[in-house]
Amino acid sequence: MSLIFKLIVICIISLSISAREIGETEITTDDGIEVFQNEQYYLLKKNVKIDSDNFTLNAENVKVDFEDNLNNITELNAEGAVKFDSSEFNMRGQGEKLKFEVKYERLELQGLDSELITENIEMFSNGLIKVNNLTGEFSLFGEKSKLINENIIIIGETIDGFFSNNINNKEITILNVFDNNLSYVKNNNSEMYAKKINYNNETSLIELIDDVTIIRDGEKVVGDYGTLDTKNNSYKIKSNNESKVKVIILNNE
């Protein structure tokens, strides 16, 4: 009888230790924690797991900067097979390194197979993905960096621009893509190649610069400079060589 009672007590105690309560953040590590009180940071070492109501993170090692007390986190730097999921910011991601500045909502993912997935936009890179959630600024660096949303696929070595601040539907308002080996943009019915591709939501113009190719409806048009108006779905292409014919195709559908 006494043994059963002891077992029940042990079960209750172990449950109360391991069960995370609402509002709490639970962190486990395999190789300890180093706390630097004056410098206000701590290191979480080996097989780190962070679990809270609206954020989970797995990584090999994590450095956490704090203010005043350990749970007032200002910056988080994780490395080694980083995976995270934030329901608060509606995003998840992975990479070799993650830097997250909490106050400024700035996020950086670095390394091979980095990816950042939000409700509307997916970003992939083997180099660097940077997003500022407050200003909407984003950038991707590295070979074959890729950005996908509902209507567009963008591939290039450098992709940067701005998202709209609409929380429910983050649209791309400004976009600049560069790749010396040709950037690629695919929207609803067109595929575009050029060294440099720019887009401005206000003018609804996609600008294509150097080694331009537009493929649409089985038609392929080549030039040195082009623009595509996403509003009326028309495009223009011209060549630096004056003897070449400029092509203008209007689609009045």
25: contact with another protein by CB under 8 A: yes
List all residues 6 or more positions away from 133 whose beta carbon is below 8 Å from its beta carbon: 89, 105, 106, 107
Q: How far is the CB of 51 from another protein (least distance, A)?
A: 10
113: contact with another protein by CB under 8 A: no
What three-state secondary structure class fits 48? strand
CB 98 within 8 A of CB 108: yes
Q: Which of 136, 141, 132, 182 is nearest to 162 (CA)?
A: 136
State which of positions 62-81 bind another protein (CB under 8 A).
Answer: 69-71
Choose, by CB under 8 A, the member of 6, 14, 24, 219 that binds another protein.
24
The interface region with another protein, picked from 25-33, 145-153, 169-177, 222-230 by CB under 8 A, is 25-33
27: contact with another protein by CB under 8 A: yes
Q: Which of 9, 82, 92 is nearest to 49 (CA)?
A: 82
CA distance 102 to 90: 15
State which of positions 196-215 bind another protein (CB under 8 A).
Answer: none
Choose, by CB under 8 A, the member of 1, 4, 16, 23 that binds another protein.
23
**Tokens coding 2:** 């006494």
Q: How far is the CB of 29 from another protein (least distance, A)?
A: 5
Choose, by CB under 8 A, the member of 9, 12, 30, 151 that binds another protein.
30
The interface region with another protein, picked from 20-28, 79-87, 104-112, 115-123 by CB under 8 A, is 20-28
Q: Which residue has the tokens 């097979």?
A: 81
28: contact with another protein by CB under 8 A: yes
Bridge partner residues of 162 (DSSP): 137, 174
Cα–Cα distances in Å, from 15 out to 6, 11, 28? Answer: 14, 6, 16
Name the residue nearer to another protein (CB basis): 70 or 148. Answer: 70
CA distance 205 to 105: 30
Q: How far is the CB of 19 from another protein (least distance, A)?
A: 10
- Contacting residues toward another protein, per CB under 8 A: 17, 20, 23-39, 44, 52, 69-71
